[in-house]
């Protein structure tokens, strides 16, 4: 068996051929090489342990090293290694039924491989639905500035983060953007809730200005995640849902990050009483990252429109690997773990009893606001609390780097909007122990207080 040193040498000799995501070119940079993981921790090729404070890319909800998930994938691969969903296989049928049960209403589910693809699927469904229900002019989509909905061309067009679109525009036509419910930096006046509701009014005004007969759907995250952990009042979400219903505009809820327990509910939209989105997209926590899988869940009454007669009335969309038997088996086992271990309940409890301690950092001169729901937390860092000038990217990098030196990986909203990449992001695995959370709290507090 090769030693860690031998493995590191072998990987290092080849790593120049690997194109890392989201990395600026630096010939002297040495990217970390992970070799193993257990719980909320992983080990690099040098043998150093790190607590993964951002769950990989917001996805490792049940943590590293869950043998029962590995076994579920292996058993399914032995039984049926692959089968396309132009027909059926048992794990996909079971998972679609489970998703409908979790959503609390009858939904029909189309499987793909990533959040980007799930949203692309939703856009196609929305446009075709309106075409087949007598509203052929409804083709536009409205999303919010700072929101992220994916990196494929349609999903990137919905993504209102300028830095993610530089040098890739022009984007797909028909995508519009409005102000987010971002009370800390809102141009509106009043209480945080009043500012959020004014943002909802702006969305309604856009529908009116554009013409309701042209708007197909609104797409939004229940809680804007990568754009800065922006947490709206629940009345805002309810107001947007009401607006969509008023103008026959579909509500697409992007639950890619918030889904499967991250916020202390199984899905983020469930924090807003009475809201039942028309289309719900999910990925990441669906399998806790163990295998790629995404889903686009559509209300049963919307699905009915695709039963119309005609050679092109069905959804002419396909995904080769979407709904892979092993990935569906992994998702079913992952959901079983979430339910059996009451992970949603413990996230709600520990979010309110442990992670909430990071709100004490509001007393620091460089912390403008702390925003949190469940195991999703953002610290907006500023140079000055009065002017709210964003902390420089250099200082932000130093904070992240110092946490890494101490064995903690945290995130920041890099490459989002010009001049606004100043939010530290903490989103640990939902199975993190109290000791893990104490380590996060102590490390982040120590680093910020050392500024």
The CA distances from residue 161 to 133, 352, 388, 414, in Å, are 33, 30, 20, 10
Cβ neighbours of residue 383 under 8 Å, at least 6 residues apart? 366, 389, 390, 391, 392
The CA distances from residue 332 to 29, 91, 268, 321, 329, in Å, are 39, 8, 20, 17, 5
Domain boundaries, the chain: 4-62+343-449, 68-340
pLDDT tens, position by position, 322-352? 999 999 999 999 999 999 999 999 999 999 9
Q: Could you give the 3-state DSSP secondary structure of residue 426?
A: strand
pTM of the model: 0.95
Is the CB of residue 409 less than 8 Å from the CB of residue 44? no
pLDDT along the chain (451 residues), means of 10: 59 69 79 94 97 98 98 98 97 98 97 98 98 97 96 92 86 96 95 97 98 98 96 98 98 98 98 98 98 98 93 94 98 98 98 97 98 98 97 96 98 90 98 98 98 88
Q: Could you give the 3-state DSSP secondary structure of residue 160?
A: strand
What topology does CATH give the domain 68-340?
Answer: 3.40.640
What topology does CATH give the domain 4-62+343-449?
Answer: 3.90.1150
Cβ neighbours of residue 308 under 8 Å, at least 6 residues apart? 132
Is the CB of residue 278 less than 8 Å from the CB of residue 302? yes
pLDDT tens, position by position, 363-418? 999 999 999 999 999 999 999 999 999 999 999 999 999 999 999 999 999 888 89
Q: What is the DSSP string of 208-262?
A: HHH-GGGEEEEEEESSB-TTT-B---HHHHHHHHHHHHHTT-EEEEE-TTTTTTT
Query: What are the strands, taking DSSP E only, across 75-227?
Result: 107-112, 140-144, 175-178, 215-221
pLDDT, position 1: 55
Is the CB of residue 73 less than 8 Å from the CB of residue 330? yes
Alpha-carbon distance of 414 to 228, in angstroms, equals: 9
pLDDT, position 2: 60
Helices and strands (H, E) in the chain, number of each type: 14, 15
Exposed, middle or buried by CB within 10 Å (0-12, 13-18, 19+), for 33?
Answer: middle
């Amino acid at each position: 068996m090769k030693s860690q040193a031998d493995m590191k040498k072998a990987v290092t000799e080849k790593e120049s051929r690997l194109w890392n995501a989201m990395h600026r070119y630096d010939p002297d940079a040495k990217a970390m090489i992970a070799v193993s993981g257990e719980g909320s921790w992983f080990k690099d090729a040098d043998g150093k342990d790190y607590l993964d404070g951002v769950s990989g890319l917001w996805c490792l909800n049940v943590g590293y090293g869950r043998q029962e998930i590995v076994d579920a994938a292996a058993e399914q691969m032995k039984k049926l290694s692959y089968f396309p969903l132009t027909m059926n296989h048992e794990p996909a049928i079971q998972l679609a039924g489970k998703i409908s049960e979790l959503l609390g209403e009858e939904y029909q589910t189309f499987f793909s491989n990533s959040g980007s693809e799930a949203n692309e699927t939703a856009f196609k469904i929305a446009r075709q639905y309106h075409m087949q229900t007598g509203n052929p002019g409804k083709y536009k989509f409205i999303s919010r500035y700072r929101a992220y909905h994916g990196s494929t061309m349609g999903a990137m067009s919905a993504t209102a983060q300028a830095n993610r679109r530089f040098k890739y525009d022009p984007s797909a036509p028909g995508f519009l953007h409005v102000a987010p419910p971002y009370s800390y930096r809102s141009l509106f006046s009043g209480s945080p809730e009043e500012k959020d509701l004014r943002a909802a009014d702006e969305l309604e005004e856009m529908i009116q200005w554009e013409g309701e007969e042209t708007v197909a759907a609104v797409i939004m995250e229940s809680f804007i995640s990568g754009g800065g952990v922006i947490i709206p009042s629940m009345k805002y979400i309810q107001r947007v849902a009401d607006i969509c219903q008023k103008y026959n505009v579909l509500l697409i809820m992007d639950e890619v990050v918030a889904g499967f327990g991250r916020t202390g509910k199984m899905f983020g939209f469930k924090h807003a009483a009475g809201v039942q989105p028309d289309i719900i997209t999910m990925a990441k926590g669906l399998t806790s990252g163990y295998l790629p899988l995404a889903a686009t869940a559509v209300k049963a009454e919307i699905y009915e429109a695709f039963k119309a007669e005609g050679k092109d009335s069905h959804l002419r969309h396909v995904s080769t690997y979407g709904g892979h038997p092993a990935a569906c088996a992994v998702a079913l086992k992952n959901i079983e773990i979430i339910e059996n271990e009451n992970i949603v309940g413990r996230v709600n409890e520990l979010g309110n009893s442990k992670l909430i301690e990071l709100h004490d950092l509001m007393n620091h001169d460089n912390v403008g606001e702390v925003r949190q729901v469940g195991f999703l937390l953002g610290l907006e860092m500023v140079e000055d609390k009065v002017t709210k000038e964003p902390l420089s990217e250099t200082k932000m990098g130093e904070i992240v780097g110092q946490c890494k030196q101490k064995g903690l990986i945290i995130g920041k909203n890099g490459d989002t909007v010009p001049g606004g990449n100043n939010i530290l992001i903490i989103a640990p695995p939902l199975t993190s122990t109290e000791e893990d959370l104490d380590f996060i709290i102590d490390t982040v507090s120590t680093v910020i207080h050392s500024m």
